[in-house]
Structure 1
Amino acid sequence: MRRMIILECADDKLTGTLDEAAGETGLLIVSGGNEIRSGAHSGQAQCAAQIAAYGHPVLRYDRRGIGDSEGVNGGFLSSAADIAAAIAAFRREVPAVRRIIAFGNCDAAAALALYHDGQLDGLILANPWVIERQDDDDVMDSPAPPSAAAIRARYWERIKNPRSLIDLFTGKIDLKKLLGGLAKATQKDAPSGLAIQMAAQLSVINVPVRLLLAKRDTTAMAFMGAWNSDVFAAVRGHPNICLSSTDSASHSFADDAAKTWLLEQILQEIGSEGGT
């Protein structure tokens, strides 16, 4: 059964949706950017229903200032209290739950990495956001400048395309611009302050963490640039952390193959408790 619940966060009331099931391991879904709890194209609502069918209760919620919730939207870096409120409400509403695994995509993944604070039994972090902006734009509302990793991938795809050689020889491609782009693509992005904070938190985590990436998503490419840097060396060698990827460009895993892969990955992490 699916029902709405109210979460208390400081002086504000947040709205959540609980998909009930009998299992002792629950999934907490944290929305990224300014997305409401149903997710892009209702993807999170569909995922919740599927996970519940496998025997796991699932809680989704709108953080402060988003959707049906009260308060001011302070962005993902101000969401520690929202996450804590959701965990407390989950345990209150479903007292049979003994373990809570949290899933977040994009800046929600970053928020969970930063603010899990020992309250969760595992993290599933998809396409984690490691790009810092120079303004106050929300990460989901305007595109970030492409990382060097994304630029390299783009130029590699063009170089592999025989049509690009024809366009180059016929003058349709600006050689000067191409050389400038290739020079930029060879540069390595210095890890952002956000990436450094995330690495510091993950390097000492004592619960399982599953990192999930859509290979051709630009946010995932930026994360891989950070992942392969010295800053993440301790994280790469951490026994509790694993990284998997699927060949998709969809940031929200919206294509059928990516959607199926994501569901399988979540179920592997939380385990099946006798559903369909």
Structure 2
Amino acid sequence: MRKLIAFPCEGETLAATLDEANGTTGVLIVSGGNEIRSGAHRGMAFLAKRLAATRTPVFRYDRRGVGDSTGHNGGFLSAQPDLIAAAATFRAAAPHITGIVGFGNCDAASTLALFGRAAGIDRIVLANPWLTEQTDDLPPAAAIRVRYQAALRDPATWQRALKGGISFRNFIRGLKKLSRTATEAESSLAARVLTALADWKTDAAIVLASGDATAIAFASAAGKGIMVETIETASHSFTGDAGTALENAIRRNLA
């Protein structure tokens, strides 16, 4: 059964959805960006329904200032109180659970890495963790580098250029970003998230979409020191068959 729950957080009221089930390990889904708790194209709502159908209770919520929740939206780095309140409410609403696995995509993954321990979460599954301190509307430098290298090796790129099918303005902007931007590993946000991940040790699982810019930036910053599972898709939100692969990755971390 699916039920709606309201709970307090620093003087505001947050909205949540609990998909009830009798399993003892629950999944707490944190929404990325400014997405509401149902997710892109209701993807998180469908995921919750499928997990609950196989005995896994699932809790989703809107942080302050997003969706049905009141307050100011201060972004993912201000969401520690929201996460702590959500985890506590989940345990109170499903008192039979003995462990919580947190799942988030993009900056929600970073929220979990940074603040999940403080919320009492036992294990985290992070998809495409966000490490970049955004200063413009371009992709992260690591993603630009990978895509330019691939494009320059492709004869079709040069054919498009000769026919005027490439924006040289955007190409030059990308080159300028590569020349002036330090690697994501050197940014303060990346350092914070990667340090937090090291503290999780084996209680963290990383899932990356192979063709996603955010995932490429994470892989570049993390290097070979962090084990990841890669799903072959360019979809940041793991649409289509990639969604099934992501769900299977989450299920493997419920034991």
- For residue 102 of structure 2, what is the amino acid of its counterpart? A
Q: How far did residue 183 of structure 1 move?
A: 8.8
The residue aligned with 1:159 is 152
Q: 1:108 to 1:170 in 2, by over 3 A?
A: closer
Corresponding residue SS for 2:242: helix
Matches of 2:123 and 2:177 in 1, distance apart?
Answer: 38
Q: Determine if the alignment matches structure 1 residue 222 to structure 2 residue 217.
A: yes
Q: Is the 8 A contact 1:121 1:207 kept in 2?
A: no
The residue aligned with 2:231 is 246
Quick one: which of 259, 263, 266 aligns to 2:247?
A: 263
The residue aligned with 1:25 is 25
With a CA cutoff of 8 Å and minimum separation of 6, indicate the structure with the bigger relative contact order. 1
Map Cα deviations across residues 147-168 of structure 1 (whole Å, 9 max, x no partner).
2321222223323433234456
Q: 1:28 to 1:144 in 2, by over 3 A?
A: farther
The residue aligned with 1:189 is 183
Farther off after superposition, 103-112 or 203-212: 203-212
- How does the TM-score come out when normalised to structure 1? 0.82
Matches of 1:158 and 1:184 in 2, distance apart?
Answer: 17
Please provide the CA RMSD for this pair: 2.6
Q: 1:158 to 1:90 in 2, by over 3 A?
A: same
Matches of 1:108 and 1:245 in 2, distance apart?
Answer: 18
Matches of 2:172 and 2:65 in 1, distance apart?
Answer: 45
For structure 1, the residue ranges without an aligned partner over 5 or more in a row are 135-142, 272-276
Q: Is the 8 A contact 2:184 2:190 kept in 1?
A: no
Matches of 2:207 and 2:215 in 1, distance apart?
Answer: 9
Q: 1:78 to 1:161 in 2, by over 3 A?
A: same
Q: Is the 8 A contact 1:148 1:184 kept in 2?
A: yes
Matches of 2:114 and 2:65 in 1, distance apart?
Answer: 20
Matches of 1:79 and 1:173 in 2, distance apart?
Answer: 40
- For residue 198 of structure 1, what is the amino acid of its counterpart? V
Q: Determine if the alignment matches structure 1 residue 148 to structure 2 residue 132.
A: no
Map Cα deviations across residues 180-219 of structure 1 (whole Å, 9 max, x no partner).
9679768862521101011221222256101111111111
Matches of 2:235 and 2:148 in 1, distance apart?
Answer: 19
Q: 1:175 to 1:121 in 2, by over 3 A?
A: closer
Q: How many residues align?
A: 252
Corresponding residue SS for 1:223: helix
Q: Is the 8 A contact 1:124 1:266 kept in 2?
A: yes
Q: Is the 8 A contact 1:107 1:129 kept in 2?
A: yes
- For residue 41 of structure 1, what is the amino acid of its counterpart? H
- For residue 146 of structure 2, what is the amino acid of its counterpart? A
Matches of 1:34 and 1:179 in 2, distance apart?
Answer: 30
Q: 1:73 to 1:175 in 2, by over 3 A?
A: closer
What's the % identity of the aligned pairs?
44
Matches of 1:125 and 1:70 in 2, distance apart?
Answer: 26
For structure 2, the residue ranges without an aligned partner over 5 or more in a row are none
